[in-house]
Amino acid sequence: MTHREMVSWIQLVAALLVAVWLGYDLLNGGLVGATVAGVAGKLLWVIGAVIVVGIVSTIVMSIAVSAVRREAFREAPADERDLAIDARSLRLGGIVTSALAGLALVPLAMGVDPVFAVYGLFGAPMIGGTVSSAAQLYYYRVG
């Protein structure tokens, strides 16, 4: 497994953990009495936690793999294939993010509680990033 694939797996696991937490929060009254500011603040903390977990996980995994292989495990310089895979997966993730962010605004236009739009605008880049990471793994394996 290359360094890029490992980072993609870490991103997928982090997105899964966020989805599980978000589902748990919603099922246990996360929307009861929720305000836009309260939900936005909670989700900002989640974004910060995802960033920190991603960085720490990448460092820990790199150290662990380096110890097992007994050689430095670092990102290799990107070649044409890596650049093409990055371009295709980022394009796909961007399309998904844009579409979902646009759809998240529909409830606002219909007069629904803005709290739902905050969750939608949080979910759009999370799902788009997940699609991008999954596409990277797919393209690295299939070509």
Question: Is residue 15 a contact partner of residue 130, using CB atoms and an 8 Å limit?
Answer: yes
pLDDT score, position 73: 67
Quote the pTM value: 0.82
**Residue from 76, 58, 63, 60 nearest 14 by CA:** 58
- In the predicted model, residues of the chain with pLDDT beneath 50 are none
